[in-house]
Structure 1
Amino acid sequence: MIEVPHPGEFLAEELECRGWSQRDLAYILGVSEQGITQIVNGRRGISPEMAKALGDAFDVNPEFFTNLQKAYDLSRAKEPDPGIARRAQFQSVYPIREMIRRGWLEDTDVPMLEGQLMRFFHTNDISSIPHLAHAAKKKSYDVDTPEQLAWLYRVRQISSEIVVPRYSKKALEEVIKDQLPALMTDPEEVRHVPRLLAECGIRFAIVEHLDKTHIDGVCFWDSGQPVVAMTTRFDRIDNFWFVLWHELTHVLNEDGKKKGTRERVDANLKYEISDDLPPEEKRANKAAADACVPIREMDSFYARKAPYISEKDVLGFARRIKRHPGIVVGQLQYRMDRYNWLPKYKVAVRKFIAQSAVMDGWGNPAPVSL
């Protein structure tokens, strides 16, 4: 680095050119001669107030002196930790600090952090980690954002340590037909879901979503075994069952199983069956809505009762179709676009699923190796 002289050297040269002594300058500025001597000898810097005073004395812009002082101070500053730029690069792409807080990574020096990131993203080359080398894009129904990708790889990490038997589509069809519907009348019954799915050969986990991801769930295939993960970011009985049925429909249809197919997380799931959705998402939404509340039943009920649907009507309808009222309320709220209607029935279920599911988040990381 180029040696930058102390501003006092310029001050001494200027005094010599003008034929002024340090005592003369002290008189002009109205300060002690000792203060001027300390600046000239390099033992004191030029403060902003002194810069303004010297500007008036020498008839120059005060910034001239402040710039001299800044240049000198910067040249004398210690070189920063070389890891700062690297950590900034990582944090600008992935939520590294949040991943550390959640126990996905350990808080270590940069070389160790790079090693952890390569293990986390299953690569031997740090430059091969997606998004580190280019700006991220955002596309609907694609795992394109770094936050979504980090969440997906955490699911992969957790699911790889869940042991289940070989997947049986027949077993899943039987569970879907008889056992899962029987659990939909009581919020506490969701605790049986992980066991039933495991018996079918499905790895199931609940992983808290990262900010900005809006992820509800995902289904992908790992060596022929389906993996289903949910975030329960909306801790409500209606949302839990809709997302679960959505992902199980992907499993039944073997969406994403074909080799080379890219994983896609499901974000911002709704009851809609829009033409804008990919075909597999439309199928999954329709099947999930029908599994929660049979569509023909809902259409008939809505046609007879809307727009003046009473709480008593909802409770009677829920009993008849053997569903918790909160599941019915969730679909009716969407149809009526009234999300504050009968909210008391949309009860929380995460505390019940936590009794049996592999959970990651909310202050407790899943017990997996880093």
Structure 2
Amino acid sequence: MNTPLDFVVPTGEYIAEWCEENGWTQKQLADRLGCSPKHVNKLIHGTAPLTVEFAHRLGLVTGTPPDRWMQIETFYRSELLRLAAAEKRECVIETLDRLPLTLLRSSGYITATKRKLEELLAQVFSFYQVGSLAALDKLVTQPPVAVAFRQSAKNDWAARATWLQLVEIEARSVELPAPYSRSSLEELLPRLREQTRRPPDEYGNFMVEELAACGVRLIFVESVPRAGTYGATRLHEGQPLIALSLHRKSEDQLWFTLFHELAHVLLHDLSGGGFVSGEWGDDSCEAEANAFAAEQLIPSVYAHRLAGLRTLTEVKEFAAEIGISPGIVVARLHREQLWPYDRGHGLIKRLRLVRTSEGSD
């Protein structure tokens, strides 16, 4: 008697296997297929369906007939539906209600609604890369990896797991031009700090490109509601990955989090593979990263003068003297309770995450 499988393998696993066997990167495959690397990444991880037209493209590039690609895709989708149908409806609804489905739908990762429950669950399985309801429920109710988040009643694990999965998807579409170089990263720190004086729409590309030259992936993934995440760091394909969310969308949070995450890269062992939160936690690694970020932005040789700042003019003059954005000085005054939080906010630049258009095929 044949025993039904209790897991499913995305069509993309076979695409990834072909790339590995032939020494191709996802970007090289995307170039040959005439689509974006992000679309290839979605195919590989099952978050985008394989169409007949795209199967023909794959056939031309890989030499595997298009009908074979479609057979694999049809089997994968049917198995997802079979597994979904086997789960109790009430358990499915309970788990789905924990997820930010509206966000995933607006981002194009899912299209189905609860009226087509089996199809919706199949799409959710594909996004979170799980093969059963039990695995999905575990993922969204407890830490998926070693993460040290700042606790808040407004935050939940489902939102955090979703943000981490979005980070993972985005990271796979980014290739680095150079291996990681600790010395190059240390040399870059002063030039990164100088960027705080520039307008926000000018320093984003600088951050990404300069860190890439040091072998560090930097990606921006918008915060998920209730996730409470500022940033995260881990190794990805053997090289450091930093993800920033622009949570609270202010320059001081961005720069503090960036230097906090760089501290994890420079000072801590990331070989365990788990994410390390960019929020202000209280364990030893977090405290060390906080101290590193504070020192990089406003060195201790100047910090003793903060208590003497009384006016916005004095803040601007002090910031110009030490080569930092005035908004970062104001935020430090707030954090050390030297100024009330309703004072000086006009000097803190607000940020926004600009979405770039992506072609799928």
Q: Contact (CA 8 Å) 1:220, 1:227: kept in 2 or not?
A: yes
Gaps of 5+ in 2: 1-86, 151-155
Distance change >3 Å, CA 141–CA 238, structure 1 → 2: same
CA apart distance, 1:337 = 5.4
How far off is 1:249 after superposition?
1.0
Shift of 1:131: 2.6
The question of whether the paired residues in 1 share the 8 Å contact of 2:109 and 2:123 is answered with no
CA contact (8 A) 1:208 1:232 kept: yes
Would the aligned equivalents of 2:260 and 2:278 in 1 still touch at CA under 8 Å? no
Secondary structure of the corresponding residue to residue 295 of structure 2: helix
Q: State the secondary structure of the residue aligned to 1:183.
A: helix
CA deviation digits over 1:44-92, x for unaligned, max 9? xxxxxxxxxxxxxxxxxxxxxxxxxxxxxxxxxxxxxx99646523323
Deviations 1:154-197 (A, max 9, x none): 10011111111322222211111x32122121224423111111
Q: Distance in 2 between matches of 1:135 and 1:229?
A: 22
CA, structure 1 residues 126+87, in 2 after alignment: closer, same or farther (shift >3 Å)? closer
- Residue in 2 aligned with 1:213? 227
For the Cα contact (< 8 Å) 2:218–2:242, is it kept in 1? yes
**Equivalent of 2:184 in 171, 177, 185:** 171
Equivalent residue, structure 2, for 1:318: 319
Structure with larger Rg: 1
Q: 1:91 to 1:214 in 2, by over 3 A?
A: same
SS in 2 for 1:228: strand
Letter aligned with residue 114 of structure 1: L
Deviations, residues 12-41 of structure 1 (Å, cap 9, x unaligned): xxxxxxxxxxxxxxxxxxxxxxxxxxxxxx
1:1-370 to 2 correspondences below 5 Å: 85=90, 88-107=93-112, 109-131=116-138, 136=142, 141-142=148-149, 145-165=157-177, 166-176=179-189, 178-188=190-200, 189-191=202-204, 192-255=206-269, 257-259=270-272, 261-267=273-279, 269=280, 277-299=282-304, 301-303=305-307, 305=308, 309-335=310-336, 336=338, 338-350=340-352, 354=354, 359=355, 367=358
Q: Which runs of 4+ in 1 moved over 6 A?
A: 137-140
1:23 matched residue in structure 2: none
CA RMSD of aligned residues (A): 3.0
The amino acid that maps onto 1:343 is H
Distance (whole Å) between structure 2 residues aligned to residue 149 and residue 84 of structure 1? 23
Q: Which amino acid aligns with 2:331?
A: G
1 CA distance for matches of 2:89 and 2:222? 29
- So what's the TM-score if we normalise by structure 2? 0.64
Q: Which runs of 5+ in 1 are unaligned?
A: 1-81, 270-275
Aligned residue pairs total: 262
Asked whether the 8 Å contact 2:147–2:274 carries over to 1, the reply is: no
The residue identity in structure 1 corresponding to 2:112 is: D
